[in-house]
Structure 1
Amino acid sequence: MIATHNAHKVSEFQALLAIPGLEVEPLPPGLPDAPETGATFLENAQMKAQFYAEYVSDLVLSDDSGLEVPLLGGEPGIYSARYAGAHGDDVANNQKVIARLHEQGVTQADAAFVCALAVCRNGQLLASVEGRVNGRVFDDVRGQSGFGYDPLFQPEGASRRFGEMSTSEKAQYSHRALAVQLLRQRQKEWLGE
C-alpha cells in the first residue's frame, strides 16, 4: 500500500516500483489522516508509514517529499503540500513560491526536491531512505506534466522542467526515482528477498 490517495503519486510509484509479484495500491478509502508533525521529511515519512501499518496488513510505503529553496530559508520544505494554506492546491503553492522569489528580488533560485521513503509492516519500521535532486526554481510555470512544483523546477543537467517531461524522462532525474532506487538497494530488509 502506498500511504496516499494522490493518484499521481500512486501511478508514479507503480512505474518506479516495478518489482515482479509486488502489487502497488493506494490506501483504502476512509482511513484517518496520519500525523505529520516531524521536523524533517524522513520523520514524517516514518510517522505516516507506522501510522497506516496499524490499519492494513500489507507492507506500507510512505513518502514525504517537497521542495526546498535555500534563499527562502528552506521554504516550502515539509509544508510543501500545504504551503499556501489548503493541502494539495498546486496552483496556489506555485504562486506563493513565485511571490516569495519576487520578494527576494529574483526570478530564479537554487532549489532541491527531496523525497523520504519509509516502509513498515505491522507497525515495525523496516527501511527508510532519502533522495535529493538539486536544481533551480523559476518564476514562470512551464509544462502540463507531473504535479506539485514540477512546472517551476528544473533539475541539474536537464534543459527542461519536470512539468515539461514525460514520466519516463522525469524518472531519470527525480527525487522520488532516486529514493526508490535507494530503497530497492535495501529490498532484502523490507521485502524479505
Structure 2
Amino acid sequence: MRKFVIATKNKGKLKEIQEILDGLDFEVVSMEEMGITKDIEESGSTFEENALIKAREVYKACGEIVMADDSGLEVDYLNGAPGIYSSRFAGEGASDEDRNNKLLSLLKDVPFEQRKARFVCVIAVILSDEEYFTVRGTVEGYIGFEPKGDNGFGYDPLFFIPEYNMTAAQMKPSKKHEISHRGKAMRMMLEELKKRLDL
C-alpha cells in the first residue's frame, strides 16, 4: 500500500484528514511517523505558497506522495486578517483560546453584519519531482460574539454558519467535513488524485 504523508504536526488536523481519506488505498501517515520532525518555516505570502513550501520540504525528506495544507481565517472587517498568520495570530506558543480572545477583542462592538469571514484551505500535493498540484476550498460565515461548541479546533467555536444556525464547533464532525473549507479542498484533491493516479 502506498504511503500518503501528511505534512502536519497538528493532531486535530491529522485526525480530520484521516477521517476524510478513510477507505482509499493509502496508508495515511504523519510526517513525524516518517521521522521528519523539523520545523518548516512558512515564508510564503499566500496560502498556496506556504502549502507548497511545506509539501516540498517533506517530499525532499521522504520521497513519498506528500500532502500539505495551509489554512486560515479571513475576516473582512480586519482586511482579511489573520489570514496566513492565523496560527501565529496571538504570538508564538499561544493557545486556541488566546487566538479566539484576541479576535474577539479586535471585533469588540462590531455589529454582526460586519463580522463576515471565511475559512480558506489550500492543499498542495507533490506526486513526484515533476508533478504537483494545488486546490482551494472555502466556507463563508460570521464571527460570533462568544465561543460555542466543543467539537473542532482553532477558530471553530467562533465561526458561525448562518445556514445551520450554529458554529463549526457545534457541528457533528461528519457534517463539518461535508461543508468545511478543508472538506471541500479534500474532495477536490481526491478528484485530482483519482485523475492523476488512475485510482
- Residue in 1 aligned with 2:85? 79
Q: 1:40 aligns with which of 46, 57, 60?
A: 46
- In 2, are the aligned partners of 1:107 and 1:139 still within 8 Å (CA)? no
2: CA distance, partners of 1:163 / 1:16: 17
Task: Please state whether the residue corresponding to 2:29 is helix, strand or coil.
Answer: coil
1: CA distance, partners of 2:161 / 2:103: 17
2: CA distance, partners of 1:5 / 1:158: 30
Task: Please state whether the residue corresponding to 1:157 is helix, strand or coil.
Answer: helix
Give structure 1 stretches of 5+ with no counterpart: none
1:97-136 aligned within 5 A: 97-102=103-108, 105-108=109-112, 109-136=115-142
TM-score by length of 2: 0.89
- Residue in 2 aligned with 1:12? 16
Deviation at 1:124, TM superposition (A): 4.3
Establish whether residue 3 from structure 1 lines up as the match of residue 3 from structure 2. Answer: no
The residue identity in structure 2 corresponding to 1:138 is G
Give structure 2 stretches of 5+ with no counterpart: none
Q: 2:64 aligns with which of 35, 58, 67?
A: 58
1:83-98 aligned within 5 A: 83-87=89-93, 89-98=95-104
Larger proportion of helix: 2
2: CA distance, partners of 1:48 / 1:89: 22
- Residue in 2 aligned with 1:31? 37
Establish whether residue 21 from structure 1 lines up as the match of residue 21 from structure 2. Answer: no
2: CA distance, partners of 1:79 / 1:153: 17
Deviation at 1:77, TM superposition (A): 0.3
- In 1, are the aligned partners of 2:148 and 2:157 still within 8 Å (CA)? yes
- Residue in 2 aligned with 1:141? 147
- Residue in 2 aligned with 1:164? 170
2: CA distance, partners of 1:124 / 1:18: 27
2: CA distance, partners of 1:170 / 1:140: 19
Change in CA separation of 1:177 and 1:88 when aligned onto 2, cut-off 3 Å: farther
- In 1, are the aligned partners of 2:36 and 2:61 still within 8 Å (CA)? no
- In 2, are the aligned partners of 1:82 and 1:89 still within 8 Å (CA)? no
- In 1, are the aligned partners of 2:125 and 2:132 still within 8 Å (CA)? yes
Higher mean alpha-carbon deviation, 183-192 vs 49-58, is at: 183-192
1: CA distance, partners of 2:58 / 2:93: 19
Deviations 1:30-81 (A, max 9, x none): 5211121111111111111011111112211000001000101111100001
Q: How many residues align?
A: 191
